[in-house]
Protein backbone atom coordinates (compact mmCIF):
# COMPACT_ATOMS: atom_id res chain seq x y z
CA UNK A 1 0.00 0.00 0.00
CA UNK A 2 1.22 3.49 -0.82
CA UNK A 3 0.04 7.05 -0.35
CA UNK A 4 0.48 10.02 -2.64
CA UNK A 5 0.78 13.61 -1.52
CA UNK A 6 -1.24 15.77 -3.89
CA UNK A 7 0.72 18.85 -2.83
CA UNK A 8 4.29 17.78 -3.71
CA UNK A 9 3.31 14.80 -5.92
CA UNK A 10 5.40 12.33 -3.85
CA UNK A 11 4.28 8.71 -3.80
CA UNK A 12 5.60 7.05 -0.66
CA UNK A 13 5.56 3.52 0.69
CA UNK A 14 6.56 1.95 3.98
CA UNK A 15 8.62 -1.13 3.16
CA UNK A 16 8.42 -2.87 6.55
CA UNK A 17 6.97 -2.53 10.06
CA UNK A 18 8.15 0.67 11.78
CA UNK A 19 9.49 2.12 8.50
CA UNK A 20 8.21 5.69 8.90
CA UNK A 21 8.31 7.61 5.59
CA UNK A 22 7.29 11.21 4.88
CA UNK A 23 6.63 13.02 1.62
CA UNK A 24 8.96 15.76 0.37
CA UNK A 25 6.84 18.61 1.77
CA UNK A 26 6.00 16.88 5.11
CA UNK A 27 2.27 17.03 4.41
CA UNK A 28 1.86 13.27 4.97
CA UNK A 29 3.50 10.12 6.28
CA UNK A 30 3.03 6.36 6.15
CA UNK A 31 4.21 3.53 8.39
CA UNK A 32 3.56 -0.18 8.86
CA UNK A 33 4.89 -1.89 5.76
CA UNK A 34 2.74 -4.87 4.74
CA UNK A 35 1.57 -5.46 8.33
CA UNK A 36 -0.72 -2.48 8.87
CA UNK A 37 -1.55 0.97 7.54
CA UNK A 38 -0.64 3.94 9.69
CA UNK A 39 -0.74 7.23 7.86
CA UNK A 40 -1.46 10.82 8.68
CA UNK A 41 -0.84 14.34 7.63
CA UNK A 42 -1.79 17.97 7.74
CA UNK A 43 -4.47 17.93 5.01
CA UNK A 44 -6.27 14.61 4.38
CA UNK A 45 -7.97 16.06 1.30
CA UNK A 46 -4.48 16.19 -0.25
CA UNK A 47 -3.56 12.55 0.53
CA UNK A 48 -4.42 9.74 -1.87
CA UNK A 49 -4.31 6.17 -0.54
CA UNK A 50 -3.22 3.71 -3.21
CA UNK A 51 -4.15 0.11 -2.41
CA UNK A 52 -2.22 -2.89 -3.75
CA UNK A 53 -4.95 -3.58 -6.34
CA UNK A 54 -4.57 -0.05 -7.77
CA UNK A 55 -7.71 1.42 -6.18
CA UNK A 56 -7.12 5.05 -5.13
CA UNK A 57 -9.18 6.75 -2.41
CA UNK A 58 -8.76 10.18 -0.83
CA UNK A 59 -7.83 9.95 2.84
CA UNK A 60 -10.57 12.47 3.61
CA UNK A 61 -13.14 9.91 2.35
CA UNK A 62 -13.30 8.08 5.71
CA UNK A 63 -16.13 5.71 4.87
CA UNK A 64 -14.68 4.40 1.62
CA UNK A 65 -11.05 4.15 2.68
CA UNK A 66 -11.97 2.33 5.92
CA UNK A 67 -14.14 -0.13 3.97
CA UNK A 68 -11.34 -0.78 1.47
CA UNK A 69 -8.77 -1.10 4.29
CA UNK A 70 -10.92 -3.77 5.98
CA UNK A 71 -11.05 -5.69 2.68
CA UNK A 72 -7.25 -5.40 2.37
CA UNK A 73 -6.75 -6.59 5.94
CA UNK A 74 -9.12 -9.55 5.50
CA UNK A 75 -7.40 -10.58 2.27
CA UNK A 76 -3.99 -10.36 3.96
CA UNK A 77 -5.10 -12.80 6.68
CA UNK A 78 -6.61 -15.21 4.10
CA UNK A 79 -3.27 -15.29 2.27
CA UNK A 80 -1.44 -16.05 5.54
CA UNK A 81 -3.84 -18.89 6.37
CA UNK A 82 -3.35 -20.39 2.91
CA UNK A 83 0.43 -20.13 3.28
CA UNK A 84 0.26 -22.05 6.56
CA UNK A 85 -1.75 -24.85 4.89
CA UNK A 86 0.97 -25.38 2.27
Q: How far is the C-alpha of 24 from the C-alpha of 20, rounded, in Å?
A: 13
Mean pLDDT (the chain) is: 88
> What's the domain count of the chain?
1
Domain housing 73: 2-85
Asked if the model's pLDDT at residue 83 lies above 70, the reply is: no
Would you say residue 85 has pLDDT above 90? no
Question: Mean pLDDT across the stretch 9-32?
Answer: 96
Over the stretch 34-57, which tens digit does the pLDDT of each residue have? 888 899 999 999 999 999 889 999
Amino acid sequence: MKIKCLICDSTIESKHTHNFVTCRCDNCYIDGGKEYLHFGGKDFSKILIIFDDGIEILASDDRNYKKKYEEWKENKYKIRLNDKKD
